[in-house]
Amino acid sequence: MVSTVLLCLIHLYVGRFRIFDRGQGQWKSAAGGVGIAYTFLILMPKIAKAQPVLEQASGSGIYSYLVHHSYLVALFGLVFYYGMDAAVENMLVRPDRRDHRLWVRLLLYLHASALSGYYFVVSYLMTEDSQPSFRGYLTLTAFVLAMLFYYATIDHGLRGKYGGIYDPFLRWVFCIASASGWLVATTTTIPYTSLALLNCFFAGSLIVFTLKEKVPETGYVRLRPFLYGVGGYTILLLVIEALAY
């Protein structure tokens, strides 16, 4: 629960983090590096490990098909969130957007709903995957550190994009979504196959946010902070793995 509270605090108070105003591009690049390291060192091996087990699952229909194609689910997560983000970006730069206020508002709320679903899944997986052991606590700590850094950069960008509706409305929606993920994980149990599919979907969506945040809006790639993010988080994961054994 403590980890969920920390993530909720990021949603609520990201506007007070002035450090992102002074060096947003560097922090975004570093956060992208952390996301890349987490995706390839934690999520991808987890998907590869789950695939043989998923292939033994029985059933029919679309669900059974997706279970046997975990990487396809990851690709769907990537395409879904990239499409939502691209649609919002294209709408906001249209010169006639004021003539389509209803569609703009509808698209923004759909985008916010998709992001809320993302935060829900992250919180759910964080709670569901946590293990009451020394290694489990170390792994959870590494995950929370990555997400705290990552959420701060994402929410800071969303706060600038959504203007006046983030502070009075959206930050509370995102906070409720994160808290709901924890609540559902602590009160219900879903099958292993469904949990694996959520991990795959999360991996695809995380890649989208990672690649988007890696390159600042100015188009100037800050390679050094990105490498610091990749290298620093990789070292942290290796240290945790060594301590766990």
- 17-28 per-position pLDDT tens digit: 665 555 556 777
Q: List alpha helices for 43-69, DSSP H.
A: 44-55, 61-67
Q: What is the pLDDT of residues 172-217, one digit of tens each?
A: 999 999 999 899 988 887 777 777 777 788 778 878 877 765 555 5
What integer pLDDT is reported at residue 43 of this predicted model?
77
Within a domain: 19: no
What the block records as the tokens of 174 is: 């995102």
- Domain assignment present for residue 8? The answer is no
Q: Which two tokens stand for residue 15?
A: 């506007």
Chain-centroid distance of CA 213 in Å reads: 11
Q: How far apart are CA 162 and CA 169, in angstroms?
A: 10
Any domain includes 9: no
- Whether 28 and 157 have beta carbons less than 8 Å apart is answered as yes
Angstrom distance (rounded) from CA 141 to CA 3:
8
Is 226 inside any structural domain? yes
Q: How many domains, the chain?
A: 1
3-state secondary structure 199-227: HHHHHHHHHHHHHHHHCCCCCCCCHHHHH
The secondary structure element, H or E, covering residue 150 is: helix 134-162
- Tell me whether residue 98 is in a domain: yes
3-state helix, strand and coil shares in percent for the chain, rounded to the nearest 5: 85, 0, 15
Is residue 75 included in any domain, yes or no?
Answer: yes
Q: Note the pLDDT of residue 86.
A: 81
Is residue 112 a part of any domain in this protein?
A: yes
* Residue 234 maps to a domain: yes
Sole residue written with tokens 């701060």: 152
Per-residue model confidence (pLDDT) at position 231: 92
Smallest CA-to-CA distance from 229 within 27, 44, 19 is with 27
Supply the pLDDT for residue 20. Answer: 57
Report pLDDT for 134. 73
Residue type, 65: Y
Q: Which two tokens stand for residue 212?
A: 């988007």
Select from 169, 143, 164 the least CA-distant residue to 12. Answer: 169
| 96 CB-contact burial (10 Å; exposed 0-12 / middle 13-18 / buried 19+) | exposed
Please give the pLDDT value at position 67.
61
168's tokens:
């009075």
* Residues spanned by the domain of 134: 24-244
Intervals of the chain under pLDDT 70:
15, 17-25, 53-54, 56-68, 96-100, 163, 212-221, 244-245
Largest pairwise CA distance in the chain = 61
